[in-house]
Amino acid sequence: EPVLPPQWAFGLWISSNGWNCDREVDAQLHALKLYDYPASVMVLEQWSDERTFYLWHPEHWSDPANTVLRIRNAGLHLVLWQIPVIKHQWDDSPGETLQDDTMEAIQRGYVVRRGDGSPYRITERWFHHSLLPDFTNPEAVDWWFGKRKYLLDMGVDGFKTDGGEFLFEKAARLADGTSGLRAHNLYPGQYIGAYHEFLRQNGVEGVTFSRAGYSGAQTQPIHWAGDQTSEWSELQAQLQAGLSAGLSGILFWSFDIGGFAGPIPEAELYLRATAMGCFCPVMQWHSEPRGGQFAGGQEETYNNDRSPWNLANKLGDERVLTISCAFAHLRESLRPYLWKEAQACVREGRPLMAHLCLDFSGDERAWSTHDEYMLGREFLVAPIVMPGKTGRHVYLPHGQWRNYFTGSIHVGPCEIWTDCPLDRTLVYQREVTL
């Protein structure tokens, strides 16, 4: 059955991925207040010791409990990044805790095994040679989350459950007898589902925020599109990805506004992405750390923060801040509608971001329109995802439609041209019998 995230999940999310830690958190909290920017969730990615992924990094966080408290007192819910691995340290300095975890997990059978019974190790790329916890083993699940229970006690509200696509060996075996061939696609759901159950069992009305998935992904609350660079082609791909995710059964989906990596986005790209994000199931911005996989900048002074205030400063364009803040307030005003529609989505098994064919199944033009979508049952959204465009043609199916920003009325089916400056997006509201 589809799972309904808590109401706060449909607010605006911000994500921090730097190493200044306490100082960076306080800077973002200060900026949110200074610019009257309404946000609901803060995601911390590089919070852990990068060995165990369950202990706060002792050199970068002087008082983690106080940090969590400051975030919550600012009215934000805290989500922490996770990865399903027992990490292999190639620098030969794993530390005592990781060494003990590795030995215990192997000896007690808490990890995925190879066909010959030896521990399976990730065979390529990301987290190469690391162990994979076996979430079909109840004892392994208890062991894994026993080390993370204190995070919930501190006030953490959810987990960004990254990864999950690491099971490559066909002959591997899980504790329940599943082969690696079959479990490759099942594993993400086992992993994310275990985190969702962990929250539920501890009475936390929180979320998992995930990238990998398979059939049944709608039983875990939210997914996002993965890492994107700041290019127009990526924004265009995210529109297609959101539609595809919905058609695949994923009810609640998100993307990183303006991309999260590479050279910082130009103002037009960032604002068009902000406009689309405002009318998506989850609105969020996120950034890669300095010297990450796309290497947007390595020097100590480089700041890849994709907040509107940082980008306005780096681009020398005040519009980035003022327009972004206006969209953030618009998003806040949409939360009652999004919550109502999210509940309907769960009841009906319908994606919140839906291809037009789902609502207008008898309309051939709706079936072939792949750059518009319904956000809930009332709003038709036609984002601009091409550079230099000051407007676009919009197809409106049968019904009466009102331009959300101008109030003009149109009767469909029809195709219209509408101008769209950077401080707007193209949204049309229709009357719906609920």
Please, which residues have CB within 8 angstroms of residue 278's CB and are 6 or more apart in sequence?
Answer: 327, 328, 330, 331, 334, 425
Which residues are paired to 12 by β-bridges?
283
Question: Is 378 tagged catalytic?
Answer: no
CA distance 54 to 57: 9
Q: For residue 433, what are its two tokens?
A: 């019998």
Q: Which of 165, 197, 205, 363 is catalytic?
A: 165
Query: Taking Cα atoms as reference points, which of 252, 205, 209, 231 lies closest to residue 350?
Result: 252
Instruction: Name the one residue in this structure whose structure tokens are 């369950």.
Output: 54
Decide: 351 and 245 in contact? Cβ < 8 Å. yes
Q: Report the relative pairing of strands 353-354 and 373-375 from DSSP bridges.
A: antiparallel
Beta strands in 190-237 (DSSP E): 207-210, 222-224
CA distance 192 to 190: 6
Question: Is 423 tagged catalytic?
Answer: no
Question: Is 162 tagged catalytic?
Answer: yes
Decide: 351 and 246 in contact? Cβ < 8 Å. yes
Q: Which of 134, 157, 169, 227 is catalytic?
A: 227
CA distance 87 to 214: 24
Q: Which of 162, 341, 372, 378 is catalytic?
A: 162
CA distance 160 to 82: 6
CA distance 274 to 429: 20
Which amino acid type is present at position 116? D
Segments in 202-279 forming alpha helices (H): 232-247, 267-278
Cis check for the bond before 413: say yes or no (omega within 30 of 0). yes
Residue numbers annotated as active site:
162, 165, 227
